[in-house]
């Protein structure tokens, strides 16, 4: 968001997140350019859309050209259906027995890992009056859900014998494509998936879809794209890792012109200053007396803490933006409060808006910066933002609307 459009939202909010429509559209246009014609663009909206707001983002991703949406559970699929999202849904985690009926009723595709699950899903499909489409998860090196090629063939034969279930795809997931610049292991995983595809074909088993690509694979390796890509963090404008970015620079995505994608962060997080206190030199700020003022200070108290998603590891190391100026966090982040130094920033008062995550003018506090401060990854920065924080949609004209009320 540019600084000249203002940051104040609808009245009455002390803290809120903003989802930028133009960023969503820019990221999906970029991703679409990476795909061969016919490859479906799937966007992962699990875990409250990585903290961005699931229903809101689902609608915006579809409006921007997504073909499929990917969730983690039948309950998430049901929530999207209740929000009148009608696109194809894919549940990427195993569906337990108590969610089978819901999965079938939602019409979602389901990952399949065992014969027991096949029978369970077939029963749920019959009861729902439809066929549950399943994608067999092939084990290629992650060792979480997958099955061997031989086990996959047995599963496929079983599915073919059952009513209420049908085989739609073969899939796998990369274990080490983001955290390294050496992609030999990922290439071997792709080879194993291709060997699985060949084995299925030789046994007369039709596979309408074969897919494996996550964000890093989608950006870096067109050979992984297959029938569907399953893009997560990149759709939200964040690089999967420094290694992914470094590899993109090295190989020159776009080859001839060495084009490098410019991902645009979708989310900003703001809060209003709830109180301003004068702190004398030598006085302490916050729990544990971890910060002591060395000069007379003006401290702003923000109405957010680790409950809301402002991580405790940001204590005494992070900055927020106030009037486009960096204001350091002072003292420990509390459960529902954080304190920042306003001494050097003029024209700040109670009620002034502060940027915790995002851009103001020429300054930015990014999820990657948070991750560095926390010793974590940008995924957890955004995914841990509390679901109760209002998500507002920033439209192309710069105006803010309640994302959940948008038609």
152: which residues sit within 8 A by CB, 6+ positions away? 136, 138, 170, 196, 199, 200
Angle between helices 54-63 and 74-82 (to 10 degrees): 70
The rounded distance, in Å, linking the Cα atoms of 187 and 350 is 55
The rounded distance, in Å, linking the Cα atoms of 32 and 195 is 27
Q: How many helices (H) and strands (E) does the chain have?
A: 12, 21
The closest alpha carbon to 168, from 213, 121, 136, belongs to 136
Contact 89, 70 (CB under 8 A): yes
Residue 393 CB-density burial (10 A; 0-12 exposed, 13-18 middle, 19+ buried): buried
- Three-class SS of residue 180? coil
The rounded distance, in Å, linking the Cα atoms of 377 and 340 is 23
CB atoms within 10 A of CB 325: 16
Contact 133, 110 (CB under 8 A): yes
Q: Which residues pair with 210 in a beta bridge?
A: 170
The rounded distance, in Å, linking the Cα atoms of 250 and 381 is 27
Q: Are strands 391-394 and 363-365 parallel, antiparallel or unpaired?
A: unpaired
Active-site positions read 46, 287
CB atoms within 10 A of CB 225: 20
């Amino acid at each position: 968001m540019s600084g000249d459009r203002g940051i104040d939202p609808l009245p009455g909010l002390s803290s809120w997140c903003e989802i930028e429509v133009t960023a969503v559209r820019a990221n999906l246009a970029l991703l679409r350019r990476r795909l061969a014609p016919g490859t479906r663009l799937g966007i992962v909206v699990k875990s409250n859309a990585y903290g961005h707001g699931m229903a809101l983002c689902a609608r915006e991703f579809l409006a921007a050209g997504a073909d499929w949406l990917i969730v983690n559970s039948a309950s998430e699929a049901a929530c999207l259906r209740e929000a009148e999202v009608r696109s194809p849904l894919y549940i990427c985690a195993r569906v337990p027995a108590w969610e089978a009926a819901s999965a079938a009723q939602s019409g979602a595709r389901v990952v399949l890992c065992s014969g027991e699950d096949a029978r369970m899903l077939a029963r749920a499909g019959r009861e729902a009056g439809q066929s549950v489409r399943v994608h067999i998860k092939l084990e290629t090196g992650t060792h979480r859900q997958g099955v061997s090629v031989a086990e996959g063939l047995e599963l496929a034969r079983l599915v073919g014998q059952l009513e209420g279930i049908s085989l739609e795809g073969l899939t796998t997931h990369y274990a080490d494509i983001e955290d390294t610049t050496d992609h030999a292991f990922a290439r071997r995983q792709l080879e194993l998936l291709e060997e699985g595809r060949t084995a299925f074909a030789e046994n007369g088993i039709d596979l309408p879809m074969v897919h494996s690509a996550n964000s890093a694979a989608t950006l870096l390796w067109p050979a992984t794209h297959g029938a569907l890509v399953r893009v997560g963090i990149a759709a939200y404008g964040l690089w999967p890792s420094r290694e992914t970015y470094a590899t993109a620079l090295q190989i020159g995505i776009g080859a001839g012109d060495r084009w490098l994608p410019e991902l645009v962060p979708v989310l900003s997080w703001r809060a209003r200053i709830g109180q301003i206190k004068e702190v004398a030199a030598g006085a302490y700020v916050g729990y544990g007396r971890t910060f002591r003022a060395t000069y007379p200070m003006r401290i702003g108290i923000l109405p957010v803490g680790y409950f809301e998603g402002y991580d405790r590891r940001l204590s005494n190391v992070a900055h927020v933006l106030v009037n486009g100026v960096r204001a350091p966090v002072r003292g420990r982040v509390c459960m529902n409060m954080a304190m920042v130094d306003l001494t050097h920033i003029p024209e700040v008062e109670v009620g002034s808006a502060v940027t915790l995550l995002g851009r103001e003018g020429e300054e930015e506090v990014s999820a990657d910066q948070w991750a560095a401060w926390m010793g974590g990854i940008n995924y957890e920065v955004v995914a841990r933002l509390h679901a109760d924080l209002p998500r507002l949609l920033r439209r192309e004209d710069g105006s803010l609307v309640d994302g959940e009320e948008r038609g």
